[in-house]
Structure 1
Amino acid sequence: MTAATKKPGFWAIFSIFLLLGLTSFGGPAAHIGYFRQQFVSKRRWLSDAEFASLLALCQFLPGPASSQLGMAIGLLQHKFRGALAAWLGFTLPSALLMLAFALSLTWWQPGLLSGVLHGLKLVAVAVVAQAIWAMAQSLCNSVRKAVIMLLSAALILWQQAATVQLLLLAGAALAGFLLLRHETASDSRVALVQPLQRRQGLGFAAVFLLLLLGLPLTAQYFAQPMLTLLDIFYRSGALVFGGGHVVLPLLQAELVPAALVNADQFMAGYAAAQAMPGPLFSFAAFVGAVAQTGISPVTAAVLALLAIFLPSLLILCAVLPYWQQISQQSALRSAFAGVGAAVTGLLLATLYSPLASSSILTPLDAAFAVLAFIALQFLRLPPWLLVLAGAVTGILLA
């Protein structure tokens, strides 16, 4: 985006992310694919290098990587109002659906439309495959980068723990620094317009730590269910790496023993969250609504959502001013090149497991996924159209 180009306002950013929140099925890996198509290929708000830099940052930070990436894109476009617009638009559809599901538990009958969900998962396979195809062309355009990508994918398929992902990204940065310096010596610097100053970053870091340390003490002192719920969700958003697929099982270990929700309620909400577009962290709206907190279910749902997403924004704003400066250092561009190749490998591993392995069950499934990829990559059909096609096809296949 050139300096002369007028940047979008709050409602423009909100409307774009609202559409993404309505149509982005498939979890964080698929969300990244949707984001790249929307903001790199279509609107050109970011270059591939800028997108990779932001993605690498969000992969390093705790919390939901795709939501943080959306916040970062909004922040660069319209500062804090842009970050709010991006988060609100992307989260609102799934949060409202999860809230409605929680409020309807008294009469809702088990049995989601499995055929529809199956079709949507096949579309997600195509979306992730397209993202990997595009990212590999720009981020893995040498033998050494391709080797880093493939080794990263193999390691994650072997061991998917969040700590392994962090060690892998750190190792990829080191490998890039040692092996790719001659390849990146002439690369142009990533020139992001910095929306925050360093002192602002320090302020956000202070608030982040204050809440991280203060909420557990407050919840223990006052012993109120709502405070306990807020503490659990804030700590989960602040300390858990790997996004929703990692945090949901960990939340069960805290919420059920604390008697905030029962096991049946949790598993019903867990299943429903897999069917929703947008971020899996919207599961917090469900828990807030069904938890025994003594306040209005709607109010509790809103507070739970804020608690789980707030640390993501705070830590993003705390680190971004320093990340921007570091990313401009020529000595470290090779390290970022290694991280970019490793992130592509992470997406490649995710494409195989859990997306393809849990979605492509028959030859017809494989045929539809290939056709969806062709439609996205070569026919340039919009993702929302494929989402509708996937839902209909899933019903027919079922």
Structure 2
Amino acid sequence: MELSTILIILLLAVGALQGIVYGVILATSIKYNKTANRILATILFLLSYRLIIQIMRLFGIGYYDSWYYIMIDLSWIHGALLYFYTKAQTQPRLKFKTKDWLHLIPVAIQISFSIFVRLQNLYWDGTKESLSWLGYYGYVVWMNNSTIYIIASILIIIYAYKSNKLLNSIDQNFEIAAKKLTWIKRIIRSFLVYFSIVLIVLLVDLIIYKTASNESYFYFTRFYYFPFFIGIAVLTYWICLEGFSRRNDPEIAIKNTINPDELSRLKVISEKLRLAMEENKVYKDQELSLQSLAKQLDIKPYLISRSLNEINNKRFNEYVNAYRVKEVQLLLEDVSNSKYTLLSLAMEAGFNSKSSFNRAIKKQLGISPSELKIKK
């Protein structure tokens, strides 16, 4: 085996191994961005699989076997996965709808036509006449030309643009909290730039070679064939590093931008809520609810919820329990209350059950109720 071939195998192997290892890590990351990490892991697995198939061919195995054809059949899915990844990163609670699966139609078309082309081997005897015109030209165009990879590159470019458009629409219409979208754009841009170069090379070579030569065109014998896979190995390696380093980033918190008048009104409501809590201590009412408080303040319940969400970044129960926890802490500081149990003080502060008190202490302070009494 030539030294150049050994070097190519090593480069492809490093990319494939990296993709598998980091793909497993991303697929099992459950702290944040679970769906997005799993989609990126799928992309890495598919790229690694493509590299492994090519390594097998360099060792003289895997020529037109099932593993090779499965790789071919799935080559049009990368663009859709890239788009799904972008959606999952920008919509943490993403649930795929029926229309989302329409993006997989190109893959279904490719699998169907690929099966049709492979079936031509049953009739092929080496002559054009042994096949139908569709079977013959389909076989020649599909198997010998770079048609599959030209279309795959076009699909990736299209979906990269769709992904960028999605990110730009978010930049314009939403306020992004917790983290920026810069690194997601880098991943999309890497696919866009690389496969744009691949597409240009494929088209120029195909047109020029067909025009200048009467010889049969075989994609896998062209000068750029191995550099193309080395590029995929480098791309896989780089995406691994990006995805791994960001796998536990907090999910993107997206809030609708609020016009100044609406924001001002919500701030007024927030101040009324604060006064009701701090001066009137309405939180001590064990039966307090969003509806009962709204009735007391003569404010519609949805406006209270919206104000708490936009101004205080809290839900109603979380907001009220924060005051109740502080009240319990104040009661514990008073030595005259040492004769009372912790639960009785919790009830005095407005909690209506031991379980709700325990949950609130754990969420608000990150400690157990017994630790709270020790720290009084």
Q: TM-score normalised by the shorter chain: which range applies? A: under 0.3
TM-score of the aligned structures, taking structure 2 as reference length: 0.22
Highest RCO, 1 vs 2 (Cα 8 Å, sep ≥ 6): 1
Question: Scaled by the length of structure 1, what TM-score is found?
Answer: 0.21
